Amino acid sequence: MPTPAVAYLTRTFRAEAGIVISASHNPFYDNGIKFFSIDGTKLPDAVEEAIEAEMEKEISCVDSAELGKASRIVDAADCGGLCKRCDLSHRAERAARTGANVIAIGCEPNGVNINAEVGATDVRALQARVLAEKADLGIAFDGDGDRVIMVDHEGNKVDGDQIMYIIAREGLRQGQLRGGAVGTLMSNMGLELALKQLGIPFARAKVGDRYVLEKMQEKGWRIGAENSGHVILLDKTTTGDGIVAGLQVLAAMARNHMSLHDLCKRHENVPADSG
């Protein structure tokens, strides 16, 4: 299950917390634990430090018989006496549900190949495949699905800055953008300049998606991102969600009848000073 799904379920089931065991965007041997609060957001540093301190102590476990089970019921009716026939054959891959012809790569996990030369941290294989297949675009997620990086039909990498620009621009066009957008100290100056041309305010947070979220909450804004591919859309999620962000870009392409390459044209990365 992707990390953003755990954040979503924690909130919708009103659970006390959500816990994910994942290497995230790292190699398999860096497996770790992520926590989510009752509202589906990552915990503050102070709370995580308190948890780490508790883990150093002796822990008493609860018997499994004492654990409850939660089920979500959206609506209910008494269907006693009815004959029910269910067709469950609609379970298809989410991207394919959009009507797209999807070619999947890097999706055969063996327990140790997570993020190994594939995914959001290394898009070279995706770039080569997009060009070979003459595909319209490529989408890469990291190991736990909270990051997304894209590739246009010319094989160019589209990072989190550019993805946020596309989504913010489309939100503005649709009249749905609230306030501005939050990046980080690592966000390219090209993003700030491109947003300024649209009249969209921009603020920078410390590096880290939790700090992006904190700045968004402080400003009352609904969109934030890191150039690494964490994109937070508070109208839809409480944490970075690569699938949701990728779908928003696809929607912008469809509504505007534009390629990913063309949607990025007004955002040009400014070369970083290597000195």
Residues with catalytic roles: 24
Query: Cβ(145)–Cβ(8) under 8 Å?
Result: no
The distance of Cα 61 from the centroid of its chain, to the nearest Å, equals 33
DSSP code string of 169-184 = HHHHHTT---S-EEEE
Counting other chains too, the contacts that 17-22 makes at CB distance below 8 Å and 24 or more residues apart are: 20/144, 22/143, 22/144
| SS3 state of residue 186 | coil
CA distances to 1, 54, 150, 162, 183 from 233, rounded to whole Å, are 20, 33, 17, 15, 13
37/44 Cα distance (integer angstroms): 9
Of 265, 255, 261, 262, nearest in space to 98 by CA: 255
Question: Is residue 261 packed enough to be buried (19+ CB in 10 Å), middle (13-18) or exposed (0-12)?
Answer: middle
1/239 Cα distance (integer angstroms): 15
